[in-house]
């Protein structure tokens, strides 16, 4: 189990390090050197415009990471506090929060992201914000369910009798119990975000080829059947990054089960 | 003899899809100040529900729970209830669920002392004092709940309640998770603390023997009602109702 975790952390570390190394200009077009196999000058070869695939991969990596961080932060910062409040207060406040949550949940996240990014443009930040906003509903639901069960524990009821302010009960006594189980969901939602962003770019919202995303690369090169490496690299990137997040968030679950 | 809490026709039912359970079916009870009352009865007779209602952890469906200050715990606004806290305290049955598992003992206790107006530099010594009162020591302050025994945790729960200068403590089967020796120590401790601090005690148990050790009076509950009340010795030696007789018969005795 420990080994799985270390391998995942290792892969993420290597990716961060490797993609931090100086690389060529991803928008430098060289029509005299298109579709080249990997070489010393171009470690992953070049694409149909003669651009360095390594540089494209590196830029795509940082953009994907930005999406994941933005989306996760948005979801957590909105979803967890609302879930805590809804689960602890019940009554009218709960009804309002849950109705708003249900409304965002019945709109497919991907479709919402598609609409919004079509209007404001696909940047890692805008995509992350929308994916995070519409992903927050699940955090509300999960946090609320956990809060409902934790609030019935004797140590929380004792705090009520001790006249501890509600905010303090939520932060000091309920939140730590919520955080562990949420971590596991955090991992799968981060992986989901990576796939969703790749999907958005693939669908063509990232048609601006000067800002490369892994999904855009898949879209551009989908017909390059004679050069499968061009498809392999972004696929590998998406796959590795998604599985790394999934595994990294997993130990929280396992510890709970012990 | 002033009455601290007075319950009139208190009713409480737990409803579920399959059936309703009448936990309390019209309870009248006066709790005098500085008095120890034992509430005995078989499991499921409504003891814990009654205890929780008297500290405002739950509200009854009907009836009155009048506090000496004039606040009716059954019908008052949340703000009035808060004004009575934290002087109405409860020690719970399961010691291992009574403290947040992720906090060291001093992290759980310090905010309580702080809200009691104890100045920051004095807090540690106040916590040590309160632990020593219940037979624990400063060494326990740095422990997590999982590093303490059931008996130690119940003592710590008492210490936490005492930090609030309580007027009233509900002790809900506080020794049922402990072995006989620890049970005996804890009940003796409770007696000593009452002599020093003069709080009213509602001692919930199904063990009439323990009830006699701790309490002045005993109330016997059966199916959500109080069916018998009297001096502890009197109820033990001469039970009047079927429910009381069953409990008396259940006390282990030496056979010759």
For A133-192, write each residue's pLDDT tens digit.
999 999 999 999 999 999 999 999 999 999 999 999 999 999 999 998 888 888 888 999
Pairing, β B20-32 against β B88-91: unpaired
Res. B74 pLDDT band, cuts 50 70 90 = very high
* Among A residues 139-168, those touching chain B with beta carbons less than 8 Å apart: 153-155, 157-158, 160-164, 168
The tokens of A75 are what?
């979801």
Cβ distance B103 to A172 less than 8 Å, yes or no, reads yes
Partner-chain residue, chosen from B89, B94, B100, that has the shortest CB–CB distance to A161? B89
Q: Are A194 and A64 in contact (CB under 8 A)?
A: yes
**What is the rounded average pLDDT of the residues A3-9?**
89
**pLDDT at residue B239 is higher than 90:** no
Under CATH, which number does the domain B3-87+165-249 receive?
3.40.50.300
Residue B252 has pLDDT above 80, yes or no: no
B86:A158 CB<8 A = no
Determine the pLDDT at residue B164: 94
Q: Measure the N-to-C terminal CA separation of chain A; round to a whole number of Å.
A: 13
For the sheet with B3-15, list strands across it: B20-32, B3-15, B62-67
Q: What is the widest separation between alpha-carbon atoms in chain B?
A: 60
Lowest mean pLDDT among A74-78, A249-253, B209-213: A249-253
Please state, in angstroms and rounded to a whole number, the distance separating the CA atoms of residues A16 and A13.
5
Q: Is residue A239 within 8 angstroms of chain B, CB to CB?
A: no
Q: Looking at beta carbons, which residues of chain B come within 8 Å of A168?
A: 111
Distances (CA, A) of B239 to A122, B36, B43, B205: 81, 19, 19, 17
Please, which residues have CB within 8 angstroms of residue B180's CB and are 6 or more apart in sequence?
Answer: none
pLDDT of residue A256: 46
Question: Contact B74/B65 with Cβ under 8 angstroms?
Answer: yes
Please list the residues that pair with B229 across neighbouring strands: B219
Question: Which of A89, A154, A170 has the highest number of chain B CBs within 10 A, making it the mutation to test binding with B?
Answer: A154
The span from the CA of A177 to the CA of A182, in Å, is: 9
Q: Residues A78-91: what's their mean pLDDT?
A: 93
Q: Which domains does chain A have, with CATH numbers?
A: 2-17+51-257 (1.10.3720.10)
Cite the residue boundaries of each domain of chain B with CATH code 3.40.50.300.
Answer: 3-87+165-249
Non-local (6+) Cβ contacts of A173 within 8 A are A150, A155, A156, A159, B100
Of B57, B101, B160, which is closest to A157 when you measure between CB atoms? Answer: B57
Nearest in space to B199 (alpha carbons), one of B170, B172, B175: B170
Query: Which ranges of chain B would DSSP assign to H, the alpha helix?
Result: 47-54, 78-84, 105-115, 123-133, 150-162, 180-197, 208-214, 232-237, 242-249
**Interchain pair A155, B98: CB under 8 A:** yes
In this model, does residue A211 exceed pLDDT 90?
no
Q: Which residue of A has its CA nearest to B145?
A: A155
Quote the ipTM score: 0.91
Q: How far apart are CA B255 and CA A250, in angstroms?
A: 59
* CB atoms inside a 10 Å sphere around CB A16: 12
CB–CB of B174/B91 below 8 Å? yes
Enumerate the residues of chain A whose CB falls inside 8 A of the CB of residue B97. Answer: 153-155
Number of H helices, E strands in chain B: 9, 9
**In this structure, what token pair is assigned to residue A239?**
């796959």
- Between chain A and chain B, how many beta carbons pairs sit less than 8 Å apart? 51
């Amino acid at each position: 189990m420990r080994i799985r975790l270390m391998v995942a952390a290792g892969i993420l570390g290597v990716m961060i390090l490797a993609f931090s190394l100086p690389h060529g200009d991803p928008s430098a077009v060289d029509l005299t050197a298109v579709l080249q196999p990997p070489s010393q000058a171009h470690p992953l070869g070049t694409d149909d415009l003669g651009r360095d695939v390594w540089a494209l991969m590196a830029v795509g990596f940082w953009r994907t990471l930005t999406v994941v961080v933005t989306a996760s932060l948005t979801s957590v910062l909105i979803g967890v506090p609302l879930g805590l409040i809804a689960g602890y207060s019940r009554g009218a406040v709960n009804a309002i929060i849950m109705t708003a949550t249900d409304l965002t949940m019945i709109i497919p996240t991907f479709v919402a992201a598609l609409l919004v990014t079509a209007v404001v443009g696909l940047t890692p930040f805008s995509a992350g914000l929308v994916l995070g906003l519409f992903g927050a509903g699940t955090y509300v639901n999960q946090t609320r369910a956990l809060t409902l069960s934790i609030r019935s524990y004797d140590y929380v009821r004792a705090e009520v009798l001790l006249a501890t302010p509600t905010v303090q009960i939520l932060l000091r006594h309920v939140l730590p119990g919520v955080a562990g189980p949420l971590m596991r969901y955090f991992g799968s939602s981060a992986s989901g975000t990576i796939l969703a962003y790749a999907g958005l770019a693939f669908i063509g919202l990232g048609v601006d080829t000067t800002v490369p995303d892994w999904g855009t690369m898949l879209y551009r090169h989908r017909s390059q059947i004679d050069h499968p490496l061009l498809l392999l690299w972004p696929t590998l990137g998406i796959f590795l990054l998604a599985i790394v997040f999934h595994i990294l968030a997993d130990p929280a679950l396992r510890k709970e089960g012990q | 003899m002033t009455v601290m809490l007075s319950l009139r026709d208190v009713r409480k039912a737990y409803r579920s899809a399959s059936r309703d359970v009448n936990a309390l079916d019209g309870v009248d009870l006066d709790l005098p100040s500085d008095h120890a009352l034992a509430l005995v009865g078989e499991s499921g007779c409504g003891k814990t529900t009654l205890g929780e209602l008297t500290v405002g952890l739950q509200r009854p469906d009907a009836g009155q729970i009048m506090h000496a200050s004039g606040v009716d715990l059954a019908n008052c606004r949340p703000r009035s209830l808060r004004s009575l806290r934290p002087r109405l305290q409860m020690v719970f049955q399961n010691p291992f669920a009574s403290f947040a598992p992720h906090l060291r003992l001093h992290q759980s206790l310090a905010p309580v002392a702080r809200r009691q107006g104890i100045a920051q530099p004095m807090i540690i010594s106040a916590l040590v004092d309160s632990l020593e009162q219940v037979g624990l020591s400063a060494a326990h302050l740095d422990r997590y709940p999982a590093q303490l025994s059931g008996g130690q945790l119940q003592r710590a729960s008492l210490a936490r309640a005492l930090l609030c200068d309580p007027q009233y403590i509900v002790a809900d089967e506080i020794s049922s998770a402990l072995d006989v020796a620890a049970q005996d120590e804890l009940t003796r401790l409770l007696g000593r603390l009452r002599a020093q601090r003069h709080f009213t005690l509602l001692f919930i148990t199904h063990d009439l023997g323990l009830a006699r050790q701790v309490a002045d009076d005993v109330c016997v509950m059966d199916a959500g009602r109080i069916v018998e009340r009297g001096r502890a010795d009197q109820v033990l030696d001469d039970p009047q109702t079927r429910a009381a007789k069953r409990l008396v018969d259940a006390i282990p005795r030496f056979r010759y």
